[in-house]
Amino acid sequence: MKMRFLFLFILLGSAAVYASIIPADTVLKSRPVYGKQARVVGQLLENYHYRKLRINDSLSSAILDSYLAALDNSRMYFRQSDILSFEKYRYQLDDLLRQENVDAAFDIYQVYLKRFNERMDYVLNVLLKSNFDFSTHEFYEPDREKAPWPSTAEEQNRIWKLYVKNQALSLKLAGKSQDEIQETLRTRFERLVKSFKQMQSDDVFGYFMNAVTESFDPHTNFFTPKAADLFKQNISQSLEGIGARLQTDNDYTKVVEIVPGGPADKSKLIHVNDRIIGVGQGDKGEIVDVIGWRIDDVVKLIKGPKGTKVRLVLLPAETGLNGPPVTITLTRDKIKLEDQTAKKKIVEFPNGDKTSKLGVITLPSFYFDYEAYQKGDPNYNSTTRDIRRIINEFKQEGVTGLVIDLRNNGGGSLQEAVNLTGLFIREGPVVQVRNFMNRTDILNDEDPSLVYDGPLVVLINRFSASASEIFAGAIQDYRRGVIVGESSFGKGTVQTIMELDRILNNAGEPVGSLKYTIQKFYRINGSSTQFKGVTPDIALPTALDAEQFGESSNPSALPWDEIRGTFYQKTPFVTDRLLQSLRQSYQNRLKTDDQLKNFVADVEESRRQLHENKISLNEAVRKKEMEEAEQRRKARRPTDVKLNTEGMPAGNAMQLDDEYLRQGLIILSEMLSSKIG
């Protein structure tokens, strides 16, 4: 399923429900400037995008499918007859773009508006006036992305009945009375209609243009002026809130990223793939139901002044849609650069009959404070400077092995990824960068000094991307350390932003901007980090499939490929024999380590929940599933490992409930026993 983030543009449709009906004479129309923008964007993409695609009949077909998905991803509004009527545009959109004509987008939207009105009339005037029978054995399927389009109004009614019945049952299981259920649902759908009425021509044009841009690749986006402002605000991170990036997932607001150093990250109470279904202000403010809301309206409720509290009602990812809701409280704060810097801790880890001091460096992003550097501040923040300092402190503290934790690190400064690699190798190439003109540059570590030559483990997961993949890939290619965890995200591309005002003179009125892909990363062995990401040397259990959560989940993602590798000298630190021994040891633990076995069982259950597309609408069955999910959640128990962090006295025991980190530490201790490094 495509991930359209708030900072890219605000996606409204996707099986959303909006309510009390839009006047039939409401018509959103194209403006002359839209056609000019469309033509210019098309020319820029054809000439300067890395992929060098032509906007032709083939791409026109992809654009149409993408636009229909943007409006009705769950295939609940349009009918088969509508889709057939749109076929006349399938191989015309490329020609229309060159003719500065985007009327097709508005014609399709007008049909969507008509179907929306029909659906809301049925929901408000039929479904919400009836009582549901929760003793029958019916099922609701939330993911209809690949389902056939309904052919008749009767078929749509059946889909919508199950859809609303599922919401009603969730409210009943949450303790709501029949009157409260009907009032909540009516408010929910009427708010949807109110939100729908706020749609403007710019929004429709934005959806269509993103269907055009994303047919090149998922990181190429068109920003309307409004969306461009949101993007800039997000990049500056000047807004106060909880530090989580959100997206619309059917009716739910889903967490897609936890910003390092923010309140959400520090709380450890909210996680990627959790769904937010309610928001309340302060300790006692009324919880507002946000199912079916536009993403920007949910964000407005969650954001707020530093120091104030917000309560969130979540459906945790670990228990899925069938699990019980959980209410958490977070205190809003600004995301500060210092909160995203490298952090260290020392783990006193059992190693045979001894205890080893192992260092862990958690790196949320690859950062570089360019402004402070330009001002001559000798204490400017830099990933490489900070980790060099931490490693030297570890040496003084008797640390004998090192874990670099890059999980959820979405990247950052490319040069810092190169420089950081240089702390662990003497010198040599780190990454190759190829541009849209097929020119390849090699970025090298030119510092012959070696800051750390001991055993090294690098932890990665599905959300390690970009610069993280460059560092992990280089460490793996040089055989300098062991990569442990999940396959990484697979984002091996670079984007730039073009302000369209520089090209189009629209009488001083802003016309938006274009973000497009201009470069691609390749490892020093010639393999791209794009699409496939970095495959760990030792793969740990994961609930996340790349086809759902990685770069490869998007059909327009740039493909993996290879170019000629560059010369580099592998180190003797990680041999085939060592890797074979570490893998065999891990396989043995899968059979004998109770904590690992329980973790594997939890992961398999989470995987089942993520793949589950049938939700029972039988009250007794659903209640039992919720109780079982809650029992599984409570059954999870952390292990007790001595964990010493900066500022804490030595020997102060803390619980280590992070199984990925525990496995990384076990592997590191086995490397120590092998006297590697």
The tens digit of pLDDT for each residue in 57-71 reads: 999 999 999 999 999
Residues facing 654 on adjacent strands: 641
Q: Does residue 477 carry a catalytic annotation?
A: yes
- What are the tens digits of pLDDT across the range 294-305? 888 898 899 889
Catalytic residue among 72, 445, 477, 537: 477
CATH superfamily to which 238-331 belongs: PDZ domain (2.30.42.10)
Q: Does the annotation count 545 as an active-site position?
A: no
Euclidean distance between CA atoms 531 and 450, whole angstroms:
32
Beta-bridge mates of residue 38: none
Instruction: Tell which residue, 459, 507, 520, has the closest CA to residue 484.
Output: 459
What the block records as the tokens of 627 is: 């109780």
pLDDT band at 8 (very low <50, low <70, confident <90, very high): very low
- What per-residue confidence (pLDDT) applies to 654? 35
Higher-pLDDT residue of 194, 647: 194
Residue 645: is its pLDDT beyond 50? no
The answer to whether the Cα torsion of 530, 532, 533, 535 is positive or negative is negative
Confidence of residue 233 (pLDDT cuts 50, 70, 90): low
**330 contact partners, CB below 8 Å, separation of at least 6:** 242, 263, 264, 267, 269, 270, 309, 310, 311, 312
Catalytic residue among 161, 345, 491, 520: 491
| Residue 498 · residue 516 · CB < 8 Å | yes
The span from the CA of 265 to the CA of 482, in Å, is 26
**pLDDT attached to residue 637:** 54
For the chain, the domains span 54-215, 238-331, 337-673
Q: Is there a contact between 434 and 52 (Cβ–Cβ < 8 Å)?
A: no
Model confidence pLDDT, tens digit, residues 159-200:
999 999 999 999 999 899 999 999 999 999 998 898 888 899
Task: Specify the pLDDT at position 235.
Answer: 54
Task: Supply the DSSP symbol for 468.
Answer: H
Q: Which residues, other chains included, contact 658 with Cβ-Cβ below 8 Å and sequence gap of 6+?
A: none
411, 466 Cβ separation under 8 angstroms: yes
Q: Tell me the C-alpha distance between 474 and 432, whole Å.
A: 11
Annotated active-site residue 491? The verdict is: yes
Q: Of 30, 66, 215, 466, which one is the catalytic site residue? A: 466
Residue owning tokens 């999940």: 486
**618 pLDDT higher than 70:** yes
The structure tokens listed for 211 are 């269907």
pLDDT of residue 2: 37
CA proximity to 475, closest of 440, 523, 412, 538: 523
| CATH architecture of the domain covering 337-673 | Alpha-Beta Complex (3.90)
Residue 354 in this model has a pLDDT that exceeds 90: no
Q: Quick one: pLDDT at residue 12?
A: 25
